[in-house]
Structure 1
Amino acid sequence: MIANVLSIAGTDPTGGAGIQADIKTFSALGTYAMAAITAVVAQNTQGVRSFVALDPDFVGDQIDAVFEDVRVDAVKIGMVATDRIAEVIAERLRRHEARNVVLDPVMVAKSGDHLLEPDAVTAIRDLLVPLANVITPNLPEAGVLLGTEPSWTLPEMRARVEELRKLGPEWVLLKGGHLNGSADSVDLLHGASGTIELSAPRLKTRNDHGTGCTLSAAIAALLPTLPVEDSVRAAKIYMHGALATSGELEVGLGHGPLHHFHQFWKQAT
């Protein structure tokens, strides 16, 4: 059975992040990709220029249209833009009894541009986080969710990851990509059974546009067929390959995208 996976997120016209990255990731990992758009974003590899949040009722209509017609095996939530959109997403996912929900609490783009209205943070924390089987915050996002300073150390990550799980998700993948001074990137996967440390060599590349979108989408694509720990491990392997081969692409003047189809495309000789 081919899994059907829905992304609820914003757009990226250059294709490296958001809905476009999610669709590429779902497809590369052998699932059928679907999408409900929350916001149209004018961005490129150098930054975000502006975004227009869609009408919340229309976002809800998109979600209903999918669930009322298609078996949905997993859901990835990315940029929600506003508190009202977050409320609608939460209501629809409860109504349709969505399963295998992965929440990437998108708040700030790689360029530092904000992708979220201030009032939406509370809605994400109180409404969407408790619905998620897995949340995938980076350190700045975790700081916002917990109301702490964004500069963390690995010992602090270990000490505070449980606080994130107390917000309601089944699992927390706390990403350590923002840790300084380490040759490895260390993520913490925390659930009821404890914490697992997942380490990978830190790659030297500027092509890191859409890494959070891609990792969370990969986890969502794998959850219908694998346990959470195995899904996260496999998703990290996929993303590492997409990062390592990103130099084969020539896209943009800033932070370029990952190579989502690195397993299939052969470099021209």
Structure 2
Amino acid sequence: MARELVGTLPPWMPLTLKHVQGLVDKVYGVGVYKVIEKSAWFGLLGYRLTDWRAAFGTRGIKSMEVLIESCEDEDDEDEELAAPSDNALPAEGTTDSTPTASTSAEGSAAPKIAKLDLSTKEGVAAFVAWALQPHESGTMPFHWKSWGDGVDKKGFFLSHLIVYVFAGHLASLALIPGSYGRLEAKPIGALLLSVQAVQRALQFFKTGEYINRGKTADHFSIDNWGDTKVAVGSNKTKLVRRATKFMATVQGWDPDRWNELIEAKGAQR
């Protein structure tokens, strides 16, 4: 239940005293145990949530491995396994300032797709370079189910890689006894962690091979992936939204949009 709860919170946000007390009351009954800060409850849940977040990082790497393996048997023109023939930005007069589930430019020509061979080191490196290219809207190709050269994007956060990682979180919630019910709040934090886990995994495959130096800077942690502040001038700081950049967008999703994501995860292994 702690995983389900923290998955609805902003990414990397720790559980508060109120959160933990609510969980304890739900399991043991209201007032049976009083939770205090730095108690065993916090320590136990802290360890479990650390493992939960680490699982996102692990599954992110697995998503790339599965993609590479499955590509060897794929003959379709799935754009996620292909790179556009160029890195063109949206045509003049089109806009894409707000990511949505489907963003298109009327009258735009269908993008020409060049199939990538992910069975080679060079092919994987080319795919990663394409997937991580920044766009003027702030999104990247790997965020979308269909990139469309950045002009005809569809399926924000519905790429196979992201859905694969997110499906792992949903599967872990199946262990919650039915008697406890399920939260109505949407798993916004879990989805955004899934996105970050995929981005991190792609970075490990930049050379075409998986390379993880195992250094602190490579860890899937709040220090590396949480929101942070940087100095601007002598007395000012600027918030860098590494984790919550797209949170407002996801918070605005309607039930149909969430159902689309949930249904998409059913196709993942």
**TM-score if structure 2 supplies the norm length?**
0.26
Greater RCO (CA < 8 Å, at least 6 residues apart):
2
TM-score by length of 1: 0.26
Q: Which protein shows a greater Rg?
A: 2
From the two aligned structures, give the one with the greater helix fraction: 2
